[in-house]
Amino acid sequence: MRGRYANLNRIRSLDPERDYLDIYQTMLRYEFPWDMKLGLNLAFNRSFSIPAIAAVHIATGELTEHTQKRIDDTGLLMYEMVLNGFEQPRGRDALRRVNQIHRQYDISNDDFRYVLGCLVVIPTRWLREYGWRPPCCHERQATYLFYRELGRRMGITDIPGSYQEFETWFNAHDAAHLRPNDDAAAIERATRMLMLTRIPPVLGPLGNALVSAMYDASLRRAMRVEPPAWPVRAGLHGALKVRSRLQRWLGTPRTTAMFADGITTRSYPNGYEISQLGPRHEHPRE
């Protein structure tokens, strides 16, 4: 237990309004690396599942025809912004590329807000449920402020004014618009491999059932995924709870930051240029 809460103590000494990037980086790179990566995976899965957003992705074919590259590109652009912020060259380049990619498509402000809300709310919910400790108020605020700034720099308007307001808006929008649709089902089938990589190899035979158990009931309905047997759901919940307690009691703070040696992906074993991430061909608006 010695030093287990050292990062939390430091975070509580910071000002989230000024230091939100430092706090969010600490969450991702030191405090909750596995959980944050999984939470962001779940967030992107959910963002693909609203019918209007799923239809855009199906039309481009990027998620169903170039699945691994699309997944890797999304992760690289996001992590470049988290690791470098919005003022450093690589962070600015990643944000510029994100805006270039999205400028091609006719996406509503509400849909953009929903995707942003997924990134704010879904990983935070995961940490509250399965993190070795729940995120503190500074961490929730820093998460909100990071994505509020990202949203503003993407031209997204009417972003709710606090984490709690955003969560309330997200819940209402999710309940109203997350509906069963064939496009979401097709994307889920193509991208399931992303979640399967989060399953320990020893649990490989149960991989598909465990992935389905990670989705909540409304997301499974939207993606037309059959609910796994209750022993699988209960077993996963119990195992994650045990893991969180073992980490709390026996774990020690990470000393080497995640991505300290750079970000590696299957699509770019020899490195990548930020300007080349994204669709292979431009898809102009109709």
What residue numbers bound the domain in which 68 lies?
6-261
281 falls within a domain: no
Q: What is the pLDDT of residues 25-68, one digit of tens each?
A: 999 999 999 999 999 999 999 999 999 999 999 999 989 999 99
273 falls within a domain: no
Provide the pLDDT for residue 166.
Answer: 98
276 falls within a domain: no
Q: Which of 98-112, 194-208, 221-235 has the lowest mean pLDDT?
A: 194-208
Provide the pLDDT for residue 286.
Answer: 39
285 falls within a domain: no
Mean pLDDT taken over the chain: 93
153 falls within a domain: yes
CA distances from 138 to 27, 149, 160, 179, 270 (A): 11, 16, 17, 33, 37
Provide the pLDDT for residue 104.
Answer: 87
Is 70 exceeded by the pLDDT of residue 83?
yes
CA distance 30 to 131: 13
Higher pLDDT, 254 or 92: 92
Q: Which two tokens stand for residue 145?
A: 């402020």
End-to-end CA distance of the chain: 58
pTM of the model: 0.94
266 falls within a domain: no
Number of structural domains (the chain) is 1
146 falls within a domain: yes
13 falls within a domain: yes
Residue 203 pLDDT level (bands cut at 50, 70, 90): confident
